[in-house]
Amino acid sequence: MLKGKVAVITGGTRGIGFATVKKFLENEATVVLFGSRQETVDKALAALKEENPDWPVSGAWPDLGSEEAVAAELEKIRETHGKIDILINNAGMSDSKPVTEYTSEHFEKIMKLNVGAAMNCIIPVVKIMKEQGGGCILNTSSMVSISGQPSGVAYPVSKSAVNGMTWSLARELGPSNIRVNAVAPGITNTDMVAALPKEMIQPLINAIPLRRVGEPEDIANAFLFLASDLASYVTGEILSVDGAMRT
């Protein structure tokens, strides 16, 4: 579904990001995954190469907080592969801290990674995509961007901002043949969820109409669809992948 496409995926070393990297490689994309540190990138690449040594995958660890560092890395990728067809802004951090324990620094830290880092990737990649005649930008939102959550207010605030970014850029960049969409996962079986005790997980499962938590591959499948030509007339959408858990 992605044969001949070049994709950059941030937060690609584990969880949803890693599953999406693998899904894209299985569908014949060339992938560059971004991670926070060289050791995590190397570990992810080793796991992928062990599964299929012929997969065209590489990695980098630019500081996503620096537009200049990200722009330089994206330019290297464009020089190496000739283009960047797909950008997935998946890097981010969750939060569950009560507001009574908040500081402005804590709030800004989450906003900087979940919103600022995405924009630091988008600004330079848009220039590249406009020059090549189009592209696809995908963002990771969240179920709580729609419904909120009982604590950790910065996380739903940041993901609501991602939604606004997605809608607005879809309208702005549509004339340049650049599609912009987002995937809003629900509770997903990542390392953090897997570490929760069963007595905490089961009530969550009971609140999901499909009666299971999502798997990283479920989210990866949504990204695959939105990145593919099957979604060539889809832009400005926030695709919920949450088993209909909307509370």
- 36-46 per-position pLDDT tens digit: 999 999 999 99
Active-site residue identified among 128, 155, 184, 220 = 155
User: Is 155 in the active site?
Assistant: yes
Give the residue among 27, 131, 145, 147 at the shortest CA–CA distance from 84. 131
Q: Give the global pTM.
A: 0.94
Residue identified by tokens 């570490």 is 195
Give the residue among 111, 136, 113, 140 at the shortest CA–CA distance from 125. 136
State the pLDDT at residue 195: 64
- The pLDDT of residue 191 is above 80: no
Kindly report, residue by residue over 60-81, the tens digit of the pLDDT.
999 999 999 999 999 999 999 9
| 227-244 mean pLDDT | 97
CA distances from 10 to 20, 32, 103 (A): 10, 9, 27
Tell me which DSSP letter residue 197 carries: -
Where are the domains positioned within the chain?
Answer: 6-241
CATH superfamily of 6-241: NAD(P)-binding Rossmann-like Domain (3.40.50.720)
Scanning the chain, the segments in alpha helix (DSSP H) are 15-26, 38-51, 67-81, 104-111, 117-132, 144-147, 154-173, 191-194, 198-206, 216-227
- The pLDDT of residue 197 is above 80: no
**H or E element, residue 88:** strand 86-89
State the pLDDT at residue 196: 64
State the pLDDT at residue 171: 98
